[in-house]
Each structure stands twice: as structure tokens, then as C-alpha cells.
Amino acid sequence: MLIVLFFKCMIALFNPVYRRGQGVKWGLVAFTLVMFSVVTVHTATDLNLLSVSYIDNREFPGVKGVLSPGPPGYRETVYFKAINIIPNLTFPLNNWLADGLLVSPMSRSLAQLYNASSPSFIVVMCSTP
């Protein structure tokens, strides 16, 4: 779903029908690429951590009274390692970027481009198929 949404956004950004005589908005293209990259890094590192936890360390012994046995206990032991810090940083970063797009002047110009009354129209536009 994420890949489809990314390509739909890129097609819309490069399609001359939506631009109405304006040039390509390279800021929005770069912003879309950055957001897609951040989400991809988050997903890849989080899935890697899940596979390490549930496949490689499914029999983690835990520490009685401190850490639970199995994958949840293992995830607590690697909480401050890079394999877990990267997804914990990229998720809020992507949310911050998405919120920044909604309150930026770019969102007002996008809303005007689609004849919408408010910048929150972008959220509705992106969430509908």
C-alpha cells in the first residue's frame, strides 16, 4: 500500500494535468522521496528486529523477575542498541514530517490546486483510493 501511494503521489507531481502551467514542484518531490525513504528504513529495521526476536531468540531465557522469557524479553535487552533505536527514531520523524506538510504553505497551495477549502483535504485525498 505504501509503495502504491508513493508512486501515485509521484505520478501526480509529474503529471502536467495537475500542474496547470506551473513547473514541477521539486520541493514536494524531494519531500515525498524523504518521507518514503524514512518509512522504508523504519519498516526494514523493525522487521529485522522482529525476525531476530521471534526466529533467532525465541528461546531467550529471560531473567527471573526482571525480563520475561522469549522474544519480549529479548526486545527489552536490545532496547538501547542501534537495531531498536533506528525504528524508534524514524517513526516520530516521519510523523513530524507529515504534520509539517499539513501546516506548511505548500499544503495550502495543494488544497487550492484541488479546489479544496482547507489544507486538511490532503489527508482525505491521500487516504481514499
What pLDDT, on a 0 to 100 scale, did the predictor assign at position 88? 86
- Give the single-character DSSP code of 67: B
pLDDT digits (tens, 9 = 90+) for 58-88: 888 888 878 888 888 888 888 888 888 888 8
Q: Which residue segment(s) compose the domain that 111 sits in? A: 2-18+29-127
78 belongs to a structural domain: yes
What pTM was estimated for this model as a whole?
0.70
23 belongs to a structural domain: no
8 belongs to a structural domain: yes
Query: Is the alpha carbon torsion for 25, 30, 1, 79 positive or negative?
Result: negative
Domain count, the chain: 1
90 belongs to a structural domain: yes
Q: Are 74 and 57 a contacting pair, CB within 8 Å?
A: yes
- Matching residue, cell 505548500: 106
